[in-house]
Amino acid sequence: MGFDFFVATSDGEEIKRPRFLKILQRKLKLLQRRLKNKQKGSNNRHKLNQRIARLHQRISDTRKDWHFKLAHHLVKDAGMIFVENINFVSWQRGMLSKQSADAGFGQFVNILEWVCWKTDTYFAKVDKDGTSQTCPNCGTHTGKKYLEVRIHKCPECGYTTKRDVAAAQEVRNRGVTIEMLRHCA
Ligand SMILES: [Zn+2]
């Protein structure tokens, strides 16, 4: 889950945040700004507040619907789903706070887990630490990447792919390894 895209997968797919949600959110901001010019207790203010509440509801319904569609899309043809185990509480205090809160990552992970359960698809969360600092092809520690570095290029094996896709592949590697160890134990 990331900054440029809502999610990237180990199959190389990158999924953008939907435009219709951005448009609705922009509309919401406009209405909220208009609220400042309305007199407290006035009928106009009351009406505008109702419009804002309705729009909030619409955004949340629309987002949830999209999360379900995306979850079904990801689960289709996948035998196993592994996601980064992100601590959303501490993450939201961090730099990505606004984007991640808007994007509703926490809700999406819950929906994805539910869809996996419904479709009998294995689901697990794996440790996310350093997933963007490890080459998924050879396991070399490639060091911290700045956020503006969008490409993973391994100095050891030369493996090159998009940054978030490489991180997703590392998440997959970890998930598969944990699963193998569990079966061997
Ligand atoms: Zn490598």
Q: What is the pLDDT of residues 52-102, one digit of tens each?
A: 999 999 999 999 999 999 999 999 989 899 998 876 656 555 555 555 455
pLDDT value of position 101: 53
pLDDT value of position 132: 86
Tally the domains of the chain. Answer: 1
Give me the domain span that covers residue 55.
Answer: 7-184
pLDDT value of position 60: 92
Tokens, residue 56: 């909030």
**Ligand 1 centroid to residue 151 C-alpha, Å:** 13
Phi, psi of 18 (to 5 degrees): -70, 145
pLDDT value of position 96: 52
* Element (DSSP H or E) covering residue 9: none
Q: Is 48 exposed, middle or buried (0-12, 13-18, 19+ CB in 10 A)?
A: middle
Task: Please report which confidence band the pLDDT of residue 106 belongs to, taking 50, 70 and 90 as the band edges.
Answer: confident
184 compared with 24, residue with greater pLDDT: 24
**Ligand 1 centroid to residue 63 C-alpha, Å:** 37
159 is a domain residue: yes
Count CB neighbours of 117 within 10 A. 11
Task: Please report which confidence band the pLDDT of residue 17 belongs to, taking 50, 70 and 90 as the band edges.
Answer: confident
Residue-wise pLDDT tens digits, 131-176: 889 999 999 998 887 778 889 999 999 999 999 999 999 999 999 9
123 is a domain residue: yes
**Ligand 1 centroid to residue 162 C-alpha, Å:** 13
pLDDT value of position 174: 94
2 is a domain residue: no
106 is a domain residue: yes
**Ligand 1 centroid to residue 83 C-alpha, Å:** 22
122 is a domain residue: yes
Q: Is 95 exposed, middle or buried (0-12, 13-18, 19+ CB in 10 A)?
A: exposed
Q: What is the mean pLDDT of residues 11-24?
A: 91
**Ligand 1 centroid to residue 106 C-alpha, Å:** 31
With a cut of 70, say whether residue 1 has pLDDT above it.
yes
Q: What is the mean pLDDT of residues 99-128?
A: 86
Q: Which residues pair with 160 in a beta bridge?
A: 153
**Ligand 1 centroid to residue 43 C-alpha, Å:** 64
The DSSP secondary structure of 99-166, one letter per residue, reads HHHHHTHHHHHHHHHHHHHHTT-EEEEEE-TTGGGB-TTT--B--PPPTT--EEE-TTT--EEEHHHH
**Ligand 1 centroid to residue 8 C-alpha, Å:** 19
102 is a domain residue: yes
1 is a domain residue: no
The DSSP secondary structure of 19-77, one letter per residue, reads HHHHHHHHHHHHHHHHHTTSPTT-HHHHHHHHHHHHHHHHHHHHHHHHHHHHHHHHHTT
173 is a domain residue: yes
